Amino acid sequence: SKLSGDHIKLAIQKDGRLTEDTRNLLRTVGLHFESYKQRLFSICRNFPMDILYVRDDDIAEYVAEGVVDLGIVGRNLVVEADKPVEEIMPLNYGHCSLKVAVPAESGISRIEQLAGCKVATSYPVTTSRFFEERNVDVNVITISGSVEITPALGVASAIVDLVSTGSSLRLNDLIAIENVLDSQSVVIANRDSLADNQKAAIVERLLTRFRGVMAASE
Ligand code: PRT
Ligand code: ZN
């Protein structure tokens, strides 16, 4: 089998927190596709769409570049990628927030108190923009994982990290002092694809099915 030219292409997370809910959504709206663990893509048997499995960090880039027409990814990564893509539908799963957190014992309660301090994050673009907009001059340090341990290591005074239940913050004696961004899983689209009548019609058929499922689950 190979990818077809008159199909639209959708990129979803290959293996992570959003994968199961995303696959369930696609199946719930009636799409039939095989999904073996090792696959790079699947072709829908009953809808003109191919599904590519990729790392979530690459989805916004692939959509922006037109490698795929659509992506399903956390808004946090869409904002961080800062690419010209359209967010066309929130999907109401994968909820989390990007928050500024500090050691509970630090006595810090306002971001202004972080002026001149180091802030560790895996979201340097979003974090830098947030502090710039608030006119607080900080030194943003980019860390790819385990950001929440950096204050205890003396690497940073504060972090900007994703929070869902808050248990990771509590475990590390951190408290959130500001919300930077509320996120959930969203559908993003390539702008040229939306301007192409044939592709846009297929995208709209898919979105109509998503809307039906979302309305039913409310
Ligand atoms: O391999 P790949 O690059 O595709 O995946 P990944 O490991 O980069 O991402 P993954 O699968 O961990 O997360 C995918 C998406 O899920 C994120 O981009 C968010 O949009 C969303 N999401 C929702 C979360 C969380 N909730 C979340 N809690 N992503 C990460 N976390 C982390 C958080 O950073 C913290 O360290 O989970 C930890 C625990 O959170 P608490 O507050 O529940 O304790
Ligand atoms: Zn990732």
> Is 101 in the same domain as 175?
yes
- Three-class SS string for the chain? CCCCCCCEEEEEECCCCCHHHHHHHHHHCCCCCCCCCCCCEEECCCCCEEEEEECHHHHHHHHHHCCCCEEEEEHHHHHHHCCCCEEEEECCCCCEEEEEEEEHHHCCCCHHHHCCCEEEECCHHHHHHHHHHCCCCCEEEECCCCHHHHHHHCCCCEEEEEECCCHHHHHCCEEEEEEEEEECEEEEECHHHHHCHHHHHHHHHHHHHHHHHHHHCC
Mean pLDDT, residues 17-42: 91
Asked if 197 and 117 touch (Cβ cutoff 8 Å), the reply is no
> Is 70 in the same domain as 170?
no
* 36 vs 197, residue with greater confidence: 197
> Is 88 in the same domain as 189?
yes
> Is 108 in the same domain as 178?
yes
> Is 86 in the same domain as 189?
yes
Residue 76: CB partners within 8 Å, gap ≥ 6?
A: 96, 98, 123, 126, 162, 181, 183
Residue 149's domain spans which residues? 96-183
Q: Is the CB of 166 under 6 A from ligand 1?
A: yes
ipTM: 0.98
In a domain, residue 117? The reply is yes
Segment 137-159, tens digit of pLDDT: 999 999 999 999 999 999 999 99
pLDDT at 2 over 70: no
Q: Which atom of ligand 1 is nearest to the CA of 54?
A: 4
Mean pLDDT, residues 126-140: 98
Q: Is the CB of 183 under 6 A from ligand 1?
A: yes
pLDDT at site 215: 85
pLDDT at site 4: 64
Segment 56-111, tens digit of pLDDT: 999 999 999 999 999 999 999 999 999 999 999 999 999 999 999 999 999 999 99
> Is 47 in the same domain as 103?
no
In a domain, residue 3? The reply is no
pLDDT at site 210: 97
Domain count, the chain: 2
Between the CA of 108 and the centroid of ligand 2 the distance, in Å, is 30
> Is 68 in the same domain as 108?
no
In a domain, residue 2? The reply is no
Domain harbouring 116, CATH code: 3.40.190.10
**Residue 205: pLDDT band with limits 50, 70, 90:** very high
